[in-house]
């Protein structure tokens, strides 16, 4: 849909600097085995003490054991990668940030819960939900009474969403998704554990546009095991 690319390429209102650099993905398929031993069909078990630890500090839900259904890879350039693992229970997904090889040095791990997923049917709806008429891209965003601070962009006002290209694979097919995303974060009061709010406008190969909202929390690599 041409209106999607035109709209999301518009300069955001009240911007004082250029938009963030865009990350370009190559055509590398997700590796058979990625960071932390994660791979299609693998099971993931989370530390059972996480629920108690996060209680009162984060509203992210820690699932029981999960199986990985789909794997996405985003090339951020300069040997930096995001690997995303989508679980059989569609409410949960993991993101692993690595440097070097895709399965190289782990820089961060975030467990995300999907909060909502909305199919967008018109330009007016997109402008209202995630475009210049929305609150997404402003320096702060309040969700359920909790304030988060924008991680991307230095503008005093609204900034543009950041382009990400994700190559995905599941047992049935391989495909790509184009994202326009904005990330917010807050401190939880726990050491090295932050809570994240991620908005992503997504366009698939058929031109279907959707807006997903996810809430995540930092994990240590020792918080999960694969089987």
pLDDT at 6 (0 to 100): 39
Coil, helix or strand for 85?
strand
- Pick from 68, 40, 84, 70: nearest CA to 181: 84
Q: What integer pLDDT is reported at residue 30 of this predicted model?
A: 64
* Whole-number pLDDT of residue 205: 87
Q: What is the pTM of this model?
A: 0.87
Q: Which of 215, 218, 217, 219 is nearest to 200 (CA)?
A: 215
Per-domain boundaries in the chain = 2-226
- Please list the ranges in the chain whose pLDDT falls under 70: 1-31
121: left (phi over 0), alpha (psi -120 to 50) or beta: alpha
**Which pLDDT value is given to residue 28?**
53
The pLDDT value recorded for residue 19 is 28
């Amino acid at each position: 849909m041409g209106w999607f690319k035109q709209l999301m390429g518009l300069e955001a209102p009240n911007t004082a600097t250029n938009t963030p650099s865009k990350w370009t993905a190559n055509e590398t398929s997700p590796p058979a085995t990625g960071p932390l031993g994660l791979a299609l069909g693998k099971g993931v078990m989370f530390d059972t003490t996480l629920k108690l630890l996060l209680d009162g500090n984060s509203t992210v839900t820690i699932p029981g054991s999960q199986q990985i259904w789909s794997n996405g890879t985003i090339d951020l350039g300069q040997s930096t990668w995001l690997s995303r693992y989508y679980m059989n229970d569609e409410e949960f997904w993991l993101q692993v940030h690595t440097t070097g090889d895709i399965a190289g040095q782990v820089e961060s791990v975030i467990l995300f819960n999907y909060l909502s997923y909305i199919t967008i049917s018109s330009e007016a709806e997109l402008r209202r939900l995630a475009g210049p008429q929305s609150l997404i891209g402003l320096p702060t965003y309040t969700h359920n009474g909790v304030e988060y601070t924008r991680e991307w962009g230095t503008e005093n006002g609204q900034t543009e969403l950041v382009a990400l290209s994700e190559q995905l694979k599941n047992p049935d097919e391989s495909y790509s998704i184009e994202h326009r995303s904005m990330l917010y974060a807050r401190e939880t009061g726990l050491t090295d554990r932050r809570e994240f709010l991620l908005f992503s406008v997504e366009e698939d190969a058929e031109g279907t546009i959707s807006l997903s909202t996810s809430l995540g929390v930092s994990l240590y690599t020792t918080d999960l095991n694969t089987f």
